[in-house]
Amino acid sequence: MAATRRKIRPEDVHGLKYFKALQGLIERLHFVGTQRDKAGNRKLHMDQYCTLILLWFFSPIVDSLRGLQQAGELDKVRKNFGVGRASLGSLSEGVAVFDPEPLKEIAQELFDQLPDVSAGRFDVVGQTLTAVDGSVVETLARVARLAWLPKAKGASLCGYRLHTQFEVLRGVPSRIDVTTASPKGDADERAVLVRTVEPDRMYMMDRGYAQFALWNVIVAKNSSYCCRIRDNSAHDVVQTLELTDCDIAAGVVSDEVVLFGRSKAQITPDHPVRIVTVKATPHRSGGKTGGGSTGPNCDGFLRIATNRLDLPAELIGEIYRLRWMIETFFRMFKQLLGCRHLLSTKQNGVEIQVYCGIIACLLIMLYTGRKPTKRTFEMVCFYLSGWASADEMERHIEALPQPV
């Protein structure tokens, strides 16, 4: 028999005074969604809901929607945050009237407070290195319109896809767009990026983004791309570029300017494209249990397409390798910040939870001056839960590697 979940007690919730610094940021959210409340009897406001979500992120004892409800009933929580008693129905349904856009603006304000990071050898790129990818997070409840990915024993995955643009040198996402999990129509990862491309970025993308129309949009926005292509991509070599000793030492085996598209009806790149081929570990798909990899097949070479003809070939390979930092972020975001499962099945609720998670990451960075890591996040939780002292927290921060 499963153990009965213990009711949250006042002594389980610590460190509330440290959340008061947030109130100046999120108090502007108080009247979001109240336009239809003509009677003025709304009990749960958006600033209170977001405060509870942030409390949930950093308090291990609060691990569910019911836990949020219980925390909101504690006198010390209501005293510190002015959060009134809210029913499970209010917590679940209230997000339908909360607009997540003002929360995104708060995240952007915090993002702008981060110190500039020296790109070092990547200064020559002259653009912000931005890894792009999507990841599905599950909902706790089955929702027919969200069911898409097949799972074991005939079940299906219900969730949302987080289309993420991640600044690899800073170690935080610059934006996340939420769609249904099914990669079709407006929710297709390439369609989402077409709508959200920004200037002065170097987009680092895996083979799922290898679409000529998308590449053209990126270049038209005065950005650039570094995109892996499929092993069997058809193209004609226009020019073979000479490799330097540094290129060869970095595992580059060829550097070529190419021409895609042999059909006049096909959309083709409207700019010169270069393919840098780099040695990689060969593997086959089929899952680790079958002796292969969970990713697609690799014949031992990475073929990286880019519109940047001016950069050394070995630097193109290094830029693409940085893309894997976004996978590390997804693991932390899901496992550490409570986003492995979603509290809400409504898109507004998902976006609110996601951007509260981004704010949590940014707060860790601003507080510690370091990229958020598993150990640092745990120490912040211990500190706010009363398990670690301020001196222990400071010693942990001092021991962290200095930013490059």
Length of the chain: 404
Cross-strand pairs, 130 = 167, 203
Q: Where are the domains of the chain?
A: 10-103+352-399, 104-330
The pLDDT tens digits along the chain (404 residues) read 444 555 655 555 555 555 555 667 777 887 787 766 555 666 778 888 888 887 777 776 676 777 777 777 777 777 766 776 777 777 777 777 888 888 888 888 888 888 776 668 899 999 999 999 998 876 655 555 555 556 555 555 567 888 999 999 888 888 899 888 877 888 899 999 999 999 999 999 999 999 999 999 999 999 999 999 988 888 899 999 999 999 999 999 999 999 987 656 578 999 999 999 999 877 665 554 454 445 566 667 899 999 999 999 999 999 999 998 888 888 777 766 666 667 777 888 888 888 888 887 787 777 777 776 777 777 777 776 667 777 887 788 778 776 55
Task: Give residues with Cβ within 8 angstroms of 242, minimum separation 6.
Answer: 255
Sole residue written with tokens 């593997």: 283
Q: What is the SS3 string spanning 360-376? A: HHHHHHHHHCCCCCHHH
* Closest to 335 in 3D by CA, of 363, 294, 374, 381: 374
Task: Give residues with Cβ within 8 angstroms of 350, minimum separation 6.
Answer: 137, 160, 178, 342, 344
Q: How far apart are CA 42 and CA 38, in angstroms?
A: 9
* Closest to 136 in 3D by CA, of 97, 169, 163, 155: 163
Within a 10 A sphere around the Cβ of 160, how many other Cβ atoms?
27
Q: How far apart are CA 316 and CA 255, in angstroms?
A: 10
Residue 278: per-residue pLDDT: 95
Task: Give residues with Cβ within 8 angstroms of 260, minimum separation 6.
Answer: 212, 233, 234, 235, 268, 269, 273
Residue 77: per-residue pLDDT: 73
Q: How far apart are CA 207 and CA 204, in angstroms?
A: 10
Q: 104-330 is classed in which CATH architecture?
A: Alpha-Beta Complex (3.90)
pTM of the model: 0.78
